Structure 1
Amino acid sequence: MKILFANLPDDELVKYYQAGNQEAFRELLSRHQERVFKYIYLIVRNESLANDLFQDTFVKVVTFIKQYRYIENGHFLSWVIRIAHNLIMDYYRKNQPEVSIHQPDHPYDLLNNIRLSDPSAEDDLIQRQLVNNIRELIKYLPDLQQEVVHLRYYEDLSFREIADKTGVSINTALGRMRYALINLRKLADESLSI
């Protein structure tokens, strides 16, 4: 009897692959390769590097599955994306040039003070990813909460200006922002537990 892998959920495909069925892995790969590659490419912005990291990601995926290190939870793609993200971070850490200059006779080490230095490629990457994640989470807020967040953080309006623009009281604008922040925290917690 031939198994129709296209109809199976990811976790079932993982089990079939662990049992030695290569077709199950081919289905997993074809199902998710485009999204994983796009994720990597959007961060590194270099096709050759993205291809290398994509291949490394799926080598790790295969290794972890074969070692029974994948925990079945219905979030296979999130797990693969996490592996890709960790490999990207490892790449930037490894290829970040280290410059160290120390002045022992000076009471303050101005040259190695993190607050006075430019952000590293890793810092930029983390900041961009954080901003993108928050933008995505905002889309899940109710429309009125989305509006107040947009006006406050993207248009830099005061709460008085937001109240005037939306035709509500300042307290209503503040309340919407409060609930938006509470909901964003909940959404962020939920996405981290995936």
Structure 2
Amino acid sequence: MSTFTSMTDQELVQAYLDGNNHAFDELLSRTQDNIFSYIIRVVKDEELANELFQETFLKIISKIQNHQYTETGKLQWWMIRVAHNTVIDYYRDLKKNFVVDAPKENDLSAVKGEEVIDVNRETELTNQRTLKQLVLLMNALPAPQREVVYMRYFQDMSFKEIAEELGCSINTSLGRMRYALINMRKYSREYNLNLSLE
């Protein structure tokens, strides 16, 4: 690892593209504090900041692998921009999913108690159906990807904890999650399931 500490960010990016995952670990150690500080300063919630930080690095890995980083010498600013866009996307999705301008005739204050129970029951059934579909998709994954999805979503483990548990780098656990989501989206289309996988 001492070799990597003396390399420039650009050299580390190239080493990672050449197949050396330890190069990305060095990039992560150099940049994670600044990126996390930026995210938590914006969202002001540590748990949410951790989620968005992990999502940011999934995007960074994907963009680097797809040669979308081309700004030599400006890696940290580029990563901050990815983090910024991730935060913006989160709040945009939040607004889309939860902010609804309901007509007055749909005012929930007029809903009877038994109707609320029916709605809650319908939500519960929908959640159960979603869980079954998620498990179906997970079971179709290769074992290494399935492990990461299970630990992340069913055991609520961070990517750092997953990496320690599996004896791999954080980069590897992030990469497995990325490919798991790609595969699950593909399987979801093949099985004609209506699941939104982010």
Higher helix share: 2
Q: TM-score, normalised by structure 1?
A: 0.49
Which of the two has higher C-alpha Rg? 1
Structure with more contact order per residue of length (Cα contacts < 8 Å, sep ≥ 6): 2
Q: TM-score, normalised by structure 2?
A: 0.48
